[in-house]
A and B are shown apart, each in its own frame.
Chain A
Amino acid sequence: MLAVNDVFAVYDGAITALEQVSLSIGPGSLVALLGPNGAGKTTLLKAIVGMLPFERGEVTAGDILFEGASVRGCHPAVVSRRGIALVQDGRQCFRELSIAENLRAASLVSRQGAADRFEMVLHYFPFLKEMLDRPAGVLSGGQLQMLVIGMAIMSKPKLLMLDEPSLGLSPVMVQSVFDVVERLHREAGLTVIVAEQTVPRLLKLATDVYVVSRGRIVMHAPPSEMTEERLQRIYLN
């Protein structure tokens, strides 16, 4: 479904953030993209959705194929229409707009079936039903994380990518977020990539694991072979 082939990326034309990164993700998989802070996880996800040029970065070599067609150099709007949704770090939503408007805005990229997806979001996140007319800015960190995942669902993705969804959340909220991710993968059949620093729960859910360090993929293994000790060794090195 997604193939990243020998991708290099830089910021400000000089600072190398990704070096010869390759990965391959099949449909229906749930991939854990692990790595320490600053390893290049976020850069990789942004390279896939075409957001690097908006943050003074660029993909300088390699190719990114989604369902057989290249998305390298495509505008995020085009990538989004092809079916890739990125839930960015920092719970990026529209805090002055109501929750209903946030969800509606996210569906503009693919309006067909938006009403059904809206019901689906409310099914996964029932607490939103009571708050649809309230500004998104009033939500707590965990609730915001649920909202931005809901927004990603509204864009009708085939591939859902989440960038550090557990960051700054209480253990209970982290549990809830991963419950939802697992259900979306299992029930809605979404292909999912979750970038995290380390979450034991994620390793239990994942069907495949890539580890990134200093802009390179340093390990690709099934979750069963990925132990805390191995991860620690990679992170410390």
Chain B
Amino acid sequence: MTYILQLVTAGLAVGSVYALIAIGIVLIYKCSGVVNFAQGAFVMMGAYLTFAASRLGLPPVLAVTLALVLMAGIGVLAERVVLRPMLKAPVVAVMMVTLGMLIMIRASCLAVWGPDPLAFPRIFPDGALELFGVFITYNYLTAGVLSILLSLGFLGFYRFTAVGLMQRCAADNPRAALAIGIHTSNQVSLAWAMSAGLAGVGGTLLATLNGLSLGLADIGLIAFPVIVLGGLTSLGGALVAGLLLGLLQSFTDGLLSPMIEDLLRAHTRIYSVGALQQVVPYALLVAVLLLRPQGIFGRKGSERL
């Protein structure tokens, strides 16, 4: 039982970071209709910027805040300079541009910080907390709690504030939003800023768990099964789906993989199934698209990736 609880806590911690990143993708899609494949690059760059700010001697909180602000600026820049001129371009062309941004940002980080993984500065205290026999490191605990708080805070902001209402109006019907005096283009810029900022914080939290490397950008690919599962346009769905996927990966790694390996060892010469948990998100993606294309929380008629 303790082992199961251990898997649950680890799954929720990682899943909450997935959710944070996926919420950013959904936000951009709702407000600007763009499927942003560069979100993984924003995640990675946020972590590198926190790293750089820490190297300058800033305390962790300031380093993360500075990275968040810089990432928000990069988000606005990406929207204004790259995406806005492509407003009337075909969807596929816009998707290709976001892929291009992913490659460019990754190449820039490679040029500045090199290809090797870097030791990420310690942001959270060492050690672990024991709760009902379950050990959870402060890293996992803080990353999980912070991600969930940020996600809930963001959902609350979107649901209950005037700016959130303007964002929802611009996403629902830009023509009507204009007519009631909402600067729709500013709302789109704000969505990109918030999305990139969230991704930057998510990247920092992931780096505290898994270390800092260019591979952090791959998280963007895991976020896509999350948003398909949650429904492409549902922010709450992205949160729940992120947590579900984290749990699923944790249980696959801790329970399913060893069971399958035992079975294979008994009957075949295969001894390992490798990182099966890496495959799970995409298997889930295919299953969801086949069985419930609108995702768990999406409505029929929502566009699919």
- Where the two chains meet, the residues of A that have a C-beta atom closer than 8 Å to any C-beta of B are 49, 51, 54, 75-77, 79-81, 85-86, 88, 92-97, 101, 104-106, 108-109, 151, 155
B166, A105: Cβ atoms closer than 8 Å? yes
Residue from B172, B175, B180, B182 whose CB has the most chain A CB atoms within 10 Å: B180
Cross-interface CB contact of A92 among B166, B168, B173, cutoff 8 Å:
B173
Known: A94-B172, A95-B172. Contact between A81 and B165, CB under 8 A? Answer: no
Q: Is B127 an interface residue (CB 8 A)?
A: no
B13 to chain A, nearest CB (A): 32
**How far is A93 from B175 in the complex, measured between Cα atoms in Å?**
9
B181, A80: Cβ atoms closer than 8 Å? yes
Task: Please name the residue on chain A nearest to B165 by beta carbon.
Answer: A105
A31 to chain B, nearest CB (A): 19
**How far is A85 from B178 in the complex, measured between Cα atoms in Å?**
11
A94, B176: Cβ atoms closer than 8 Å? yes
Query: Which positions 154-211 of chain B face chain A at CB distance < 8 Å?
Result: 162, 165-166, 168-169, 172-173, 175-183
Cross-interface CB contact of B175 among A92, A101, A106, cutoff 8 Å:
A92
Residue from A93, A109, A151 whose CB has the most chain B CB atoms within 10 Å: A93
A183 to chain B, nearest CB (A): 22
B residues near A151, Cβ cutoff 8 Å: 180
**How far is A155 from B166 in the complex, measured between Cα atoms in Å?**
14
A105, B180: Cβ atoms closer than 8 Å? yes
Cross-interface CB contact of A81 among B172, B176, B178, B181, cutoff 8 Å:
B181
B176, A77: Cβ atoms closer than 8 Å? no
Task: Please name the residue on chain B nearest to A51 by beta carbon.
Answer: B178
Cross-interface CB contact of A108 among B172, B173, B175, B180, cutoff 8 Å:
B180
A93, B173: Cβ atoms closer than 8 Å? yes
Interface CB pairs A-B, < 8 A, 23: A51-B178, A51-B179, A54-B175, A54-B178, A77-B181, A77-B182, A80-B179, A80-B181, A88-B175, A93-B176, A94-B168, A94-B177, A97-B165, A97-B169, A97-B172, A101-B165, A104-B165, A105-B169, A108-B182, A109-B180, A109-B182, A155-B180, A155-B181
Can you list the 8 inter-chain pairs with the closest CB atoms, starting with the nearest?
Answer: A80-B181, A109-B181, A92-B176, A77-B181, A94-B172, A106-B180, A76-B178, A105-B169
**How far is A94 from B181 in the complex, measured between Cα atoms in Å?**
14
A residues near B176, Cβ cutoff 8 Å: 88, 92-94
Residue from B162, B177, B181, B182 whose CB has the most chain A CB atoms within 10 Å: B181
B179, A49: Cβ atoms closer than 8 Å? yes
**How far is A28 from B176 in the complex, measured between Cα atoms in Å?**
26
A147 to chain B, nearest CB (A): 11
Known: A92-B173, A97-B172. Contact between A108 and B165, CB under 8 A? Answer: yes
B183, A108: Cβ atoms closer than 8 Å? no
B residues near A109, Cβ cutoff 8 Å: 180-182
Given contacts A80-B180, A108-B162, 6 further A-B pairs with CB under 8 A are A81-B181, A88-B175, A105-B165, A105-B166, A105-B169, A108-B181
A126 to chain B, nearest CB (A): 23
